[in-house]
Chain A
Amino acid sequence: MSSLLNRDRPPVFCPGCSHDLVVRALDRALVAMGKQGTEVAIVTDIGCSGLFDTFFNSHAMHGLHGRALTYATGLKMARPELTVITIMGDGGMGIGGAHFLSSCRRNLDITLLVLNNFNYGMTGGQCSVTTSPVASTASGFLNELEPSLDICKVASAAGSPWVDRVMATGKKLPEQIRDAVQYQGFSLVDIWGVCPGRYSKRNRVTLKGLEEEMAALPPVSGAVQENERDEYADLYRRKSSRLSLPSGPVDIEPIYSSAFTGQKDILLLGAAGQRVNTAGELLCLAAMSAGLHVSQKNDYPITVLRGHSISEVVLSSSPVLYTGTGHPDVVFALAREGVTRRRSVFEKLKPENLVIRGKGVEVPEHEGKTITIDFKKLRIPSMHWALISLAVLAEEKSLITEKMLRAGLAFRFSGNSLEEAESLLNHFFSRKNSYRTSHS
């Protein structure tokens, strides 16, 4: 009979170790499926069961404590035709608990064999997540403090569509492994065995005793109907194939000439909902239409719908180097939230600097020029204040012009949003004198 076992590396477990039985059963299962070694990847974890991959003439990947399922996932996603079998002990299963839960929930077509011998064998018999609270382990009383985990129950609860449990001595072990591997989705087999080296002697655990214990549990036998669903990679491919390729960066050819040479820093101070970041971007796009180099940095709290919203923009006739805006040339003061955050910049303003301020927004004393706009009286909702302020800036003609701003809008918006933004600008430029409350 043919075999995928590696003749150069026969299994080397302690005498009586159940792992030996599983190695042979796995081989029988693979042979029964007619698998070639090149069609199979055995991915192992740390511990005595981590030696499994070396005993097979198959592809092999042996990785870190509790992480085997992550490598298996990457492999299977990249090579869907490969049969990927992951071997972990109860130790690694506990360490990589989150990966275990994710794999159950994900339903990628890989098989996980947990070689459950109720302790960390290789490291000296410490308690694991499946150790009974009444067992004697190398961890003192620690196992007495926590109930043992039922792997199958957890797997079912986490969404695994195939959950099976069997003794390492079970006559049907090869068939049960085969069925799990053949299942088109995530499959788990909880294989109970003894660890004479570290656990079963000191706890007088026998295979017969384990068999009885298993028999007393509610039966599990493969397919979990309520968890059956589409296989993950298959679904992923179907969904991703419907996506269109992302468009590249906006290509902006300079069509206007800049009103200035050198560098100008603009600080937009507002609050959430005022479209401050969009205004910063529009300003950049407008400037790029005149061949300027630009940079933009936004600052807002994690509560995006509340609090300050700040945009720092640098426009420059040469490539932008330092992106800090400690001494801005222009400041938009559109909300208290933003102004409070950057109070210190106002004292640095010089007479040639400009503040565009919404009426009612308090700003600290400063030496710059101020244009105040009574947005409320003009019935302009707060979300358009930043855009109108850009129009005010364009009207000043020192940094950007109306044409540049309109070009910026066309790069950023299309359809209804473009129409809306353009009509706001049209309104402003046709009645600009009524916008200006005071100019000091």
Chain B
Amino acid sequence: MGFCLGASMAGLKAMTATSGPGISLYSEQISFAIGGEIPLVIVDVQRLGPSTGSATKGADGDIQFLRWSNSGGLPVIVLAPVDVTDCYTLTVRAFNLSERFRCPVFLASNKETAMTRESVDLVSLQIPSVVNRNHCPPDREFLPFGPGGEKDVPYFLPLGGDRLVRQTSSTHDEYGYITGDTETIARGIRRMENKLLGAINSLSLFEYDRDDSADTLLIVYGVTARAARVAVQRIRDAGGAVSLLILKTLFPVPEKTIQRCIADAERVMVIEMNLGQYVREIERLAGSKPVEFHGRMDGKLISPAAMCEVMGL
């Protein structure tokens, strides 16, 4: 992580990959990447926890950890790939978002995704075009932590270039000097919060497969979405009705999208490979609509049959 932070500040794109035990160690540096607004992609191939857990069995047990692993609790971006194709395209997207917003971006993968080989149709692969960070124009004063080209996102200049760059993990002013001035601190924190929360619409990725006649909305993410697609098809083939929302951006929580989908349903079902993590976000958005949960955390995939059974459809 430290190497990545140094290399990223020198202007390179950097990525690191780990699983639960590693992401725990990353925690302090994740906070630095957020507070220092250092672009970085962090892949968490989640494996069954707690702790060193199972080498190697899958789970989605780090979802809230990714959201809250930074001291200070500032927002982060977490994307969740469903399959190998997503691993490819979402990684490009993760880099693009990290460059655009000057922040770390997480890919919440799963052993079941990363250690599964599968055929991919390379021809139909939609690879997003590459975004690079916004460098400070030569005629402007460089404020490493002041508002820059895009609202609330500072311009970047590489450390080691021909204009001096100050980077710090401590609370700082627009110039990168440590400060104790509460107004300056508050302004910086607000800006870092706004740069992501204010852009939710442009960074929310999801697939909504709506059935007009369905009462039930199934919400899933990651590898679980694969079984969910099979379950939904089985239910429909048998004359039943169900809608499916697959979230690919988990954080910042795409609140409006989720609420819009919930509004179409009478009942919400959340299925996750953990004891119930993302369901918390759904519950707070569902209002008075009942939210049911099914989880499994023993290293095995949740099967389509189990999904049909818990939904009773």
Contact = CB atoms under 8 A, between A and B. Distances in A.
B303 A249 contact: no
Contacts of A292: 119
B303 A297 contact: no
Q: Which of B5, B116, B159, B230 has the most CB of A within 10 A?
A: B159
A69 B120 CA distance: 41
A339 B152 CA distance: 59
B240 interface: no
B118 A293 contact: yes
Contact of A320 (B10, B118, B161, B301): B118
A43 B230 CA distance: 53
B164 A38 contact: yes
A74 B7 CA distance: 4
B159 A59 contact: yes
Contacts of A151: none
Nearest to B11: A78
B165 interface: yes
A293 B119 contact: yes
A82 B11 CA distance: 13
Contacts of B164: 37-38, 57-60
Nearest to A314: B118
B168 interface: yes
B4 A74 contact: yes
B1 interface: yes
Given A58-B164, A60-B167, A322-B304, A67 B118 contact: no
Interface stretch (B97-105, B170-178, B249-257, B286-294): B170-178
Contacts of A302: 55
A57 B178 CA distance: 15
A77 B3 contact: yes
Given A321-B226, A322-B226, A322-B227, A99 B118 contact: no
A41 interface: yes
Contacts of B162: 38
A71 B168 contact: no
Main secondary structure of the interface of A (DSSP, over half): mixed
A263 to B, nearest CB: 10
Contacts of B226: 320-323
Interface string B1-20: 11111111111101000000
Contact of A71 (B6, B11, B55, B229): B6
A324 B301 CA distance: 7
A54 B303 contact: no
Nearest to A50: B170
Contact of A324 (B120, B161, B227): B227
Nearest to B161: A38
Interface string A345-382: 00000000000000000000000000000000000000
Contacts of A293: 118-119
Given A293-B118, A324-B301, 18 more contacts: A38-B160, A41-B160, A59-B165, A59-B166, A60-B166, A60-B167, A61-B6, A63-B168, A65-B28, A70-B1, A70-B2, A71-B3, A75-B7, A75-B160, A82-B10, A251-B122, A322-B229, A323-B226
